[in-house]
Amino acid sequence: MSSSRLAAAYDPEHFRRLGHQLVDQLADHLARTLRREGPVLPWAPPATNVERFPADFPEEPSGDLTALLSRVIEGSHHLHHPRYVGHQVSAPVPLSALCDFASSLLNNGMAVYEMGPVSTAMEHNVLRWMAGVLGMPEGARGVLTSGGSAGNLTALLAARQAKAGFDAWNGGATAGPPLTVLVPESTHYSVSRATKVMGWGAEGVTPVPVDARYRLRPEALEEVLAAAKRAGRRPIAVVASAGSTATGAFDPLEAVADFCEKHGLWFHVDGAHGASTALSPTYRHRVKGIERADSVVWDAHKLMMMPALITAVLFREGNRSFEAFAQEASYLFTGQDTRPWSDVALRTLECTKEMMALKLYASLSVLGTKLFADSVTSTFDLSRRFAERLQAAGDFELAVPPDCNIVCFRHTPQGVPASELDALQVRLRESLVTSGDFYLVQTTLGGRVWLRTTIINPLTTDGDLDALLEALRRAA
């Protein structure tokens, strides 16, 4: 290998120059986007982008990072645009991006303590802080992992180890009766994916009916439990949503906690989207009962303005965290564990991971906690006002009053027959998204198509949402 190539690739002064250019580029992009200039999503079909970024790599250094990144920024989806109101993906606070940058250079993988001494300590303390925000007891502990989907799997593995009554980890899924977990019909697909990964098949989730607002109906739990048992399944847990994905519905956590206590079931809360609600003094009543959960999943990359990925899996009894990937039968669980908590990979799906806690720890340290509380409160308030305007308008229909920052609705202009309304929503969304003026998504509720918005960017205003309704009227 040529030593000059190597020296250039690691040259600190070259790095300094490029880094300054990159920050300038991103700051300019941010400024434009916040002024609502340019498209939200510069829509292009997949084949076009495949052509734009071919794998025609030179043998010798010849590339220009600034030019390449300029094309990346231009072609990417602009989540900081206040008219981005689509999926539950945040507009990260820029400070957090700087931390990811530092994490990539330091590359402290933290599978074992010695490979990430600072990030391991930050992870430990940030998790204890999060458990405290939720009101979980002193002994609550957990891990950070790569997303809510991996988080639900991690929590359900611990639930299985605790409640299956046989050693499924070593003996396999067929070493005992077939297991199942009770979930609201509105549960996120990652829950049934997790039970399928564990080898429980399609009946590994048992659906519990929801009410007209898509919240789990607690009075249905007894019958669903009995029916699952009659069908030869051993139910081990109930999974409640604190913020369902489609409508943002919060299940009645207190009632589910009571039910789990009565029947000796594990109580898991999928709070990937909505656990952040606990930060807001105005809205924290929505997650009352979350502190009684055996395990909670909480994505900081949704309502906490963090870039992907940073998900907390919290266990009320901290040492349950060791059970997820334990190699020992659950009867050995004593509540005490002598394995070192600081070798994090003992308790995570990942072996190597990024310095996950750094961005959240630094953002909380530098920006303060109030910013995060205010962001939840203001996006929820804005969503409520948006829903009120939809209800007041004669040509829009609101699916359900929002529990959080997810609002589902449809445009119902006069003269359009009911049979054509589904197709109209699809066309309207396509028109707005491909024009780049707004980004919103759609969902199916009760067999009908609805437009779906997540007001997740704290810089979105009432004016942006009024403009959205006007754009929909024009497109129709």
Ligand X SMILES: *Cc1c(COP(=O)(O)O)cnc(C)c1O
Which residues are near ligand X by CB under 6 A? 88, 147-149, 188, 190, 241, 243-245, 270, 272-273, 299, 311
Closest CB to ligand X among residues 249, 468: 249
- For residue 396, the cross-strand partners are 411
CA–CA distance, 290 with 297 (Å, rounded to integer): 11
What's the min distance (Å) between Cβ of 399 and ligand X? 17
Residue 442 Cβ vs ligand X, minimum distance, rounded to whole Å: 16
Strand partners, 235: 180
Closer to ligand X by CB, 108 or 187: give it. 187
Whole-angstrom distance, CA of residue 409 vs CA of residue 287: 24
Q: How far is the CB of 182 from ligand X (least distance, A)?
A: 16
Residue in this structure with the two tokens 């945040």, named with its chain if needed: 90
Q: What are φ and ψ of residue 173, in 5° steps?
A: -65, -20
| Minimum gap (Å) between residue 134 Cβ and ligand X | 16
Smallest distance from ligand X to CB 239, Å? 10
CB nearer to ligand X: pick between 308 and 459 = 308
Residue 176, Cβ neighbours under 10 Å: how many? Answer: 14
Residue nearest to ligand X (CB): 148
311 or 330: CB nearest ligand X: 311
Q: Which is nearer to ligand X, 456 or 472 (CB)?
A: 456
Residues in Cβ contact with 142 at an 8 Å cutoff, skipping those fewer than 6 apart: 127, 130, 131, 312, 313, 314, 315, 318, 321
Query: Measured between alpha carbons, how far is 297 from 355 in angstroms, rounded to an integer?
Result: 19
The CA distance from 452 to 436, in Å, is 17
> 219-236: buried (b, 16+ CB within 10 Å) or exposed (e) per residue?
ebbeebbeebeeeebebb
Whichever of 183 and 472 has its CB closer to ligand X, that residue is 183
Q: Which residues pair with 206 in a beta bridge?
A: 182
CB of 201 to ligand X, least distance (A): 21
Write out the DSSP string of 359-384.
Answer: HHHHHHHHH-SHHHHHHHHHHHHHHH
Q: Which is nearer to ligand X, 29 or 452 (CB)?
A: 452
Min dist. Cβ of residue 44 to ligand X (A) = 24
Q: Which among 334, 307, 293, 325 has a CA at the least distance from the CA of 143? A: 325
244 vs 276 by CB, closer to ligand X: 244
User: Using CA atoms, how far apart are residues 354 and 110, in angstroms rounded to an integer?
Assistant: 8
Q: Cα separation of 116 and 89, whole Å? A: 27
Residue 433, both tokens: 């998204």
Residues in a beta bridge with 398 = 409
**Closest CB 244 distance from ligand X, rounded Å:** 6
In the complex, the smallest distance separating the C-beta of residue 297 from ligand X, rounded to whole angstroms, is 7
- Compare residues 241 and 453 and give the one whose CB is closer to ligand X: 241
Which two tokens mark 51? 């052509």
* Cβ distance to ligand X smaller for residue 145 or 375: 145
| Cβ 434 vs Cβ 66: under 8 Å | no
Nearest approach in angstroms of CB 349 to ligand X is 12
Contacts of 259 (CB under 8 A, 6+ apart): 218, 221, 222, 238, 265
